[in-house]
Structure 1
Amino acid sequence: MSVEVGSPVAGLATALSEVPDPVFSQAMVGPGVAVQPAGGRAEAVAPVAGTLATLHPHAFVVASPGGTAILVHLGIDTVKLKGEGFELHVAKGDVVEAGQRIVTWDPAGVESRGYSSICPVVALDIPPDALIDLREDGQVVAGDPLFTVDA
């Protein structure tokens, strides 16, 4: 069963290796794609349909019905903001649709505080060769396919 993973934010899709954090850039938590968000205040949406397995203001994991878990991390080291500038629209355990609004945040505000706003989108606990149809670098809008997990 394959799962198409959409972009949680609008911006510039880029290789995970471009993320300024070795946990993501070296795919320690799993393979994926990063998106450098565009502009100011924005919505981050669910990349797949499923259940919110983890929910923090700066990051969330959606587990698809087939068990594939997708991590979306809004910026790097943004846990240090302690939720400031992030507004949650759902609760842990909620069932969500792909494209459903999860968090409102301000990438420019994150950058003004000295943090990177790049968003790693990672398939957790799968081998790198399970990702197919990886998106080439380029502009995306929220919901555009980033990659497919062939699970």
Structure 2
Amino acid sequence: MTTVTSPLAGVAVGLSSVPDPVFSSAMVGPGTAVDPVREPIEAVAPVDGIVVSLHPHAFVVVDADGKGLLTHLGIDTVQLNGEGFELLVAKGDTVTRGQPLVRWNPAVIEQAGKSPVSPVIALEAAADSLAAVVEEGAVDTGTTLFKWK
């Protein structure tokens, strides 16, 4: 069982509330999302693992069991071409849960007309493989978001 913790502080929102049909319909995979605080923050690793994909607006960390976690910082933020994001690690790096991976400011993303809501997705997971999914309420960086069987 993999425990996935929040890469951000903010308010948990269920995937169905994410303003993007690819995420809200769980096409990418099951999970939840965080509407982050509106201040400069660091997105951290939700599990111990290896960074297998890294973009300014999104990253995937694969844990020792081969489970990949996608964190997508905001919606349609790829259109910002990296503006407002600072990478703190490199693809291929081994990271520990809670280690800062990307520095960004959700308020700036919102001012650019994008939603800062950030999905945290269990890639290639069956919908029924997640337990105790947090879909509401305040979360801190490091709060458990869900467990992946």
Aligned to 2:95: 96
What RMSD in Å do the two structures reach over aligned CA positions?
0.6
Amino acid at match of 1:124: L
Where 1:76 maps in the other structure, the secondary structure is coil
Displacement after TM superposition at 1:39 (Å)? 2.0
- What TM-score, normalized to structure 1? 0.97
Structure 1 residues 136 and 28, CA gap change in structure 2 (3 angstroms):
closer
CA distance in 1, matches of 2:53, 2:67: 13
Classify the secondary structure of the residue corresponding to 2:13: strand
Unaligned runs of 5+ in 1: none
Name 2:53's counterpart in structure 1. 54
CA distance in 2 between counterparts of 1:59 and 1:24 reads 13
SS at match of 1:4: strand
Task: Specify the SS of the correspondent of 1:116.
Answer: coil
Name structure 2 gaps, 5 residues minimum. none
1:121-142 alpha-carbon deviations (Å, 9 max, x no partner): 0000010000011124100011
Q: Which whole-Å CA distance do the structure 1 matches of 2:58 and 2:87 have between them?
A: 10
Alpha-carbon distance in structure 1 between the residues aligned to 2:43 and 2:120: 11
How many equivalent residue pairs?
Answer: 149
Matches within 5 A, 1:2-151: 2-150=1-149
In the TM superposition, structure 1's runs of 4+ consecutive aligned residues that sit over 6 Å from their partners are none
Percent sequence identity is: 55
CA distance in 2, matches of 1:68, 1:148: 12
**In structure 2, C-alpha distance between the alignment counterparts of 1:91 and 1:82, rounded to whole Å:** 17
Kindly provide the CA deviation profile for residues 101-132 of structure 1, in whole angstroms up to 9, marking residues without a partner as x: 00000000000000000000000001000001
- TM-score normalised according to structure 2 size: 0.99
Report the 3-state secondary structure (helix = DSSP H, G, I; strand = E; otherwise coil) of the residue aligned with 1:92. Answer: coil
